[in-house]
């Protein structure tokens, strides 16, 4: 069995974050066995840390993988984590003086070079691994991910973008292969996608120095590619980084079709659930024991994660059979915006009523700063992320964000008050 590894000495990387555009200095430092990868926000009071672990994955920034623990958030971890996984480094302390990692040239190569310059050493402790005894599969319409039992870590990826040529690539992930064939592949997007991100307030750190921009009309890149199939290689780079969020080395052959960060993260959580690394999701039968809502007004299908009195992540599958689509609108079905807020409120209500005792009911007391960013359509999966702003007695102020495919669909702040059944209140 391979042993755990860390770096031999400190190394520093400076740059700007891609999504938020802020200057950042990243310092990688050696760590001991079984410490894993820990991010430290040196710019925040108390220098809080964020562990690389499935339960800390947070869907907050489009086209980016985030980690959040307590009030500390780290954005854009996937390229660094991909480099660590690719080179077989298990334990590192990563200190950053901003909330987003540097994008560098848009690839993982600068991180690979920095890690190699720092030196890699063995720690004399067996590597933490997850080996599969059966396939694990996830499908969502056209997106598919499957992990097959294997003695090594391999990835096969089918990149199938409606405006770009299909690309397929497969690699066994070893340090040599990763450095030469995967790490140099850069972030890419269509010019229209870049403009859309900027209209949402993201992507201000992007430039032709760190993003391969592609013309919408011709599908031609604005700069010379490093590989003829650079796009699919970068998708593999991202997938390796997202799978690294397990915190364990995965021994499997992963086959991905049209996958992206949000779907990768969902798959990582499923792998963690299957292997007992995360608590099992809370399903509908258990939700009914807390929330009084029933069909057709139940807007929470599953609770993916919950931190009592702090945060909840829930899921709503939006199907064509929803009754509201019969009239909103028959020829162009769109989920009513008010029901998106209702879904967030139900998730927040579950968070507050969980453990409050039988008979508790949550009522709306106020809604503030509601915004709606994109339509929610049949077939969409609404990820409901709600965090507590303030709790005071039976009143709770919460902030919620509803996501679809890594994009914000709706957001709002709202106040919920808990009451007993039979109380005459607004709801």
pLDDT (0 to 100) of residue 141? 74
**223 and 111 in a common domain:** yes
**130 and 265 in a common domain:** yes
With cut-offs at 50, 70 and 90, classify the pLDDT of residue 426. very low
Radius of gyration of the chain (CA): 22
**402 and 300 in a common domain:** yes
Mean pLDDT throughout 75-95? 98
Range 198-216 burial, b when 16+ CB lie within 10 A, else e: eeeebbebbeeebbbbbee
Distance CA 262, CA 380 (A): 13
Which among 215, 245, 274 is the end of a domain?
A: 274
Which among 214, 245, 274 is the end of a domain?
A: 274
Q: Quick one: angle between helices 230-243 and 261-274, nearest 10?
A: 40
**Domain of residue 257, CATH code:** 3.30.230.20
Q: Catalytic residues, which ones? A: 261, 328
Name every residue whose Cβ is closer than 8 Å to that of residue 165 and which is 6 or more positions away in sequence.
219
Q: 70 is in which domain, residue-wise?
A: 3-274
**Preceding amide of 307 cis, omega within 30:** no
Query: 415 is written with which tokens?
Result: 């106040």
Tokens 């792998």 belong to which residue?
Answer: 271
Q: What is the pLDDT of residues 162-213, one digit of tens each?
A: 889 999 999 999 999 999 999 999 999 999 999 999 999 999 999 999 999 9
**Domain of residue 396, CATH code:** 3.10.129.10
pLDDT (0 to 100) of residue 330? 87
- Structurally, how many domains does the chain consist of? 2
Q: 426 lies in a domain?
A: no
**210 and 356 in a common domain:** no
Q: 179 lies in a domain?
A: yes
**323 and 250 in a common domain:** no
Q: What is the pLDDT of residues 219-265, one digit of tens each?
A: 899 999 999 999 999 999 999 999 999 999 999 999 999 999 989 99
**172 and 46 in a common domain:** yes
Q: 401 lies in a domain?
A: yes
């Amino acid at each position: 069995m391979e042993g755990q590894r860390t770096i031999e000495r400190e190394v520093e990387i400076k740059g700007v974050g891609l999504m938020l555009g802020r200057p950042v200095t990243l310092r990688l430092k050696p760590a001991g066995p079984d410490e894993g990868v820990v991010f430290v926000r040196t710019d925040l009071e108390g220098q809080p840390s964020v562990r690389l672990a499935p339960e800390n994955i947070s869907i907050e920034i489009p086209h980016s993988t985030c980690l959040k623990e307590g009030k500390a958030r780290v954005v854009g971890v996937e390229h660094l984590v991909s480099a660590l996984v690719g080179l077989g480094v298990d334990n590192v302390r990563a200190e950053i003086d901003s909330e987003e990692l540097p994008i560098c040239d848009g690839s993982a190569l600068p991180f690979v070079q920095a890690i190699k310059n720092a030196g890699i050493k063995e720690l004399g402790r067996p590597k933490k691994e997850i080996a599969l005894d059966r396939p694990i599969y996830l499908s969502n319409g056209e997106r598919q991910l499957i992990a097959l039992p294997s003695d090594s870590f391999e990835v096969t990826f089918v990149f199938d973008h409606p405006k770009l040529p299909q690309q397929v690539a497969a690699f066994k992930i070893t340090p040599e292969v990763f450095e030469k064939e995967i790490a140099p592949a850069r972030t890419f997007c269509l010019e229209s996608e870049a403009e859309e991100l900027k209209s949402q307030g993201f992507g201000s750190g992007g430039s032709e120095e760190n993003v391969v921009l592609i013309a919408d009309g011709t599908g031609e890149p604005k700069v010379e590619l490093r590989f003829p199939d650079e796009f699919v290689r970068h998708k593999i780079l991202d997938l390796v980084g997202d799978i690294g969020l397990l915190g364990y080395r995965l021994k499997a052959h992963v086959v991905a079709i049209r996958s992206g960060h949000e779907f990768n993260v969902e798959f990582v959580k499923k792998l963690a659930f299957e292997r007992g690394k995360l608590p099992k999701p809370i399903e509908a039968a258990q939700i009914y024991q807390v929330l009084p809502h029933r069909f057709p007004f139940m807007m929470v299908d599953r609770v993916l994660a919950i931190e009592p009195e702090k945060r909840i992540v829930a899921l709503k599958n939006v199907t064509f059979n929803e009754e509201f689509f019969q009239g909103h609108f028959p020829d162009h079905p769109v989920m009513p915006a008010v029901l998106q807020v209702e879904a967030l409120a139900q998730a927040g209500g579950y968070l507050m009523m969980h453990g409050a005792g039988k008979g508790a009911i949550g009522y709306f007391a106020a809604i503030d700063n509601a915004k709606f960013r994109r339509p929610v359509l049949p077939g969409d999966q609404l990820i409901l992320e709600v965090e507590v702003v303030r709790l005071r007695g039976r009143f709770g102020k919460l902030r919620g964000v509803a996501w679809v495919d890594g994009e914000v669909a709706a957001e709002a702040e709202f106040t919920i008050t808990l009451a007993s059944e039979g109380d005459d209140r607004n709801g």
